[in-house]
């Protein structure tokens, strides 16, 4: 007799996996493709002794020859970081700390988020861009009078300065480049600044030498393909004119597609779900982006003031299976870099929102301005988008746009009982258990099945009997009758592994 949920162990061992292999770059092309001279010069200039090389999966095939080149041409000890703790676009300071690295050289796509401690040298793996041909395509679509701001995919960063000069020469008007931050966090300016009176604006970890009102009146050009960066940029700009041109697509510059507007509507739905939530999990999605701890504390303060229970979760790389372990939570707030924060949470059990959406839901003083804030650092004190919490006042009631039910909104004074906590006492048999209203204890009390119970005094005491042997994948004698080694009057024991 065979059992459907058990199988032969050799089937797993002999299973063939279809893995896409990435071909390594010829040795003669490595130096030009990965800027190895620039890497070695940077290591020598700063006298670094231990360097960590961080690679995404698609560039890992070239990691060994690059490490050997830098090892031979510098006095630096080289380590390779491959399996990053979070997204590959962020610098993995945690893995670098394991080898006590002095610096990190980051290869491939990067979000350019400011690190907490380690200096970083970025190697974007450039794509070719003919500046003259690009200007021929862009100039007819740009206004003759007015300021133009150019954002580029990091793979075209090498041509940004030359492209801005060429466009400014042809248009006869200023063209401003969105510049990446310096590599050393000690010398990098605060990338959360800006706001009223500031002469420059920080947007998606790039510095624009324009005030915020001037940026809103400018025309923005994005050179690159579809991706999270473009989505974040379109949402952050709001109604500012934006033109997108993909050099590899062969099309003329055009406004972004409807994806951005759909994303905004989806995010507004997330805000409504956050307003309805009673239990919120704060997901730590980075351990390297500057001020991430302040962002976590700010969220906890905000959620508690709004009368919500909050729980901090550190799960590493996020996936559906991990987050399904917390069904009691209504909403998850992800603290991460801008490009990793906008998760499409349709596959997740709960909505995954950003700190800005949590602010919109819980801070009565913050109103939707039409411009999305993707960087959590700008929401903190000192940031351009910071809005202090108002004084605790009367909690008002409105109607949820999602469920149609009444809900309480506003900030509660410290020590005020939670609104809607009508399950403060939960009866279970002859016991009365005190439960925090709205907390995980209340969620447990509302379950129809709460796990195994001891039921002391309700079941007779019996001698131990022989259980099943083996592992869960296939117990010994599975599918056949197990001999009853106990007496007929003895109650059967639960199955368990005894090997």
140 vs 144: CA distance, rounded Å: 9
275 plus 403 within the same structural domain: yes
440 vs 328: CA distance, rounded Å: 6
Q: Cβ(256)–Cβ(230) under 8 Å?
A: yes
Whether pTM exceeds 0.95: no
pLDDT tens, 160-176?
999 999 999 999 988 99
308 vs 337: CA distance, rounded Å: 24
Using 50, 70 and 90 to split pLDDT, how confident is the model at 76? very high
35 plus 139 within the same structural domain: no
Please report the pLDDT score of residue 415 as a whole number: 47
345 plus 467 within the same structural domain: no
482 vs 469: CA distance, rounded Å: 11
Q: Cβ(485)–Cβ(498) under 8 Å?
A: no
Query: What's the structural domain count of the chain?
Result: 4
Please report the pLDDT score of residue 482 as a whole number: 46
In Å, how far are 225, 258, 298, 445, 476 from 250, measured between CA atoms? 11, 20, 45, 60, 64
The percentage of residues in the chain with a pLDDT greater than 70, rounded to a whole number, is 80
Name the token pair of 82: 């491959």
477 vs 481: CA distance, rounded Å: 8
Closest-CA residue to 94 (of 366, 409, 314, 424):
314
In angstroms, the first-to-last Cα distance of the chain is 23
pLDDT tens, 387-415?
998 887 666 777 777 777 777 676 665 54
Closest-CA residue to 358 (of 310, 319, 324):
310
396 plus 276 within the same structural domain: yes
Using 50, 70 and 90 to split pLDDT, how confident is the model at 184? low
Bridge partners of residue 223, in order along the sequence: 152, 245
477 plus 378 within the same structural domain: no
330 vs 274: CA distance, rounded Å: 8
Please report the pLDDT score of residue 176 as a whole number: 95
CATH assignment of the domain containing 171: 3.40.50.11850
Q: How far is C-alpha 92 from the chain's CA centre?
A: 13
In terms of Cβ atoms closer than 10 Å to its own Cβ (0-12, 13-18, 19+), residue 185 is: middle
For 140, the domain range is 131-257
Residue 414, SS3 per DSSP: coil
- Between the ranges 5-9, 14-18, 412-416, 446-450, where is the mean pLDDT highest? 446-450
82 plus 136 within the same structural domain: no
380 plus 301 within the same structural domain: yes
Residue 417: inside a domain: no
Residue 432: inside a domain: no
279 vs 71: CA distance, rounded Å: 51
Using 50, 70 and 90 to split pLDDT, how confident is the model at 432? very low
Question: Of 123, 146, 176, which one is at a domain's C-terminal end?
Answer: 123
Please report the pLDDT score of residue 191 as a whole number: 54
334 plus 247 within the same structural domain: no
Name the token pair of 113: 């988020």
pLDDT tens, 115-143?
888 999 999 999 999 999 999 999 999 99
Query: Mean of the pLDDT values across residues 253-258?
Result: 86
């Amino acid at each position: 007799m065979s059992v459907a949920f058990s199988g032969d162990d050799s089937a797993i061992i002999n299973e063939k996996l279809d893995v896409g292999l990435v071909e390594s770059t010829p040795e003669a092309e490595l130096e030009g493709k990965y800027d190895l001279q620039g890497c070695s010069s940077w290591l020598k200039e700063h006298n670094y002794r231990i360097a960590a090389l961080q690679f995404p999966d698609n560039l890992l095939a070239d990691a060994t020859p690059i490490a050997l080149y830098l090892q031979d041409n510098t006095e630096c000890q080289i380590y390779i970081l491959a399996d990053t703790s979070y997204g590959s676009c962020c610098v993995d300071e945690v893995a670098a700390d394991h080898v006590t690295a002095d610096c990190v050289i980051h290869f491939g796509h990067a979000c350019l988020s400011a690190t907490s401690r380690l200096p970083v040298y970025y190697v974007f793996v450039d794509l070719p861009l003919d500046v003259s041909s690009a200007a021929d395509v862009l100039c007819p679509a740009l206004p003759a009078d007015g300021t133009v701001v150019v954002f580029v995919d990091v793979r075209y960063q090498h041509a940004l300065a030359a492209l801005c000069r060429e466009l400014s020469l042809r248009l006869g008007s200023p063209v401003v480049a969105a510049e990446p931050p310096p590599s050393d966090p000690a010398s990098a300016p605060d990338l959360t600044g800006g706001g009223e009176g500031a002469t420059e604006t920080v947007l998606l970890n790039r510095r624009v030498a324009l005030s915020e009102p001037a940026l809103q009146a400018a025309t923005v050009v994005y050179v690159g393909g579809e991706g999270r960066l473009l989505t974040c940029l379109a949402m952050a700009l709001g109604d500012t004119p934006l033109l997108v041109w993909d050099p590899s697509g062969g099309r003329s510059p055009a406004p972004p597609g409807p994806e951005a507007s759909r994303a905004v509507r989806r995010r507004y739905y997330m805000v409504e779900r956050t307003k309805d939530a009673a239990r919120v999990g704060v997901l730590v999605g980075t351990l390297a982006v500057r001020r991430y701890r302040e962002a976590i504390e700010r969220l906890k303060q905000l959620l508690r003031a709004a009368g919500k229970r909050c729980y901090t979760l550190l799960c590493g790389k996020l996936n559906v299976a991990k987050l399904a372990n917390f069904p009691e939570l209504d909403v998850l707030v992800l603290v991460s870099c801008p490009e990793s924060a906008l998760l499409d949470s349709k596959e997740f059990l709960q909505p995954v929102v950003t700190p800005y959406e949590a602010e919109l839901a819980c801070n009565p003083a913050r109103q939707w301005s039409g411009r999305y804030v993707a960087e959590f650092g700008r929401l903190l004190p000192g940031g351009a988008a910071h809005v202090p919490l108002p004084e605790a006042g009367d909690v008002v009631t409105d109607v949820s746009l999602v469920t149609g039910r009444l809900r309480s909104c506003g900030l509660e004074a410290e020590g005020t009982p939670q609104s809607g906590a009508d399950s403060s006492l939960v009866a279970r048999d002859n016991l009365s258990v005190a439960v925090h209203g709205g907390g995980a204890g209340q969620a447990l009390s509302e379950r129809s099945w709460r796990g195994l119970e001891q039921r002391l005094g309700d079941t007779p005491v019996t001698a131990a009997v022989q259980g099943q042997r083996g592992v869960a994948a296939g117990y010994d004698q599975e599918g056949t009758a197990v001999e009853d080694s106990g007496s007929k009057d003895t109650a059967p024991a639960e199955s368990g592994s005894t090997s």
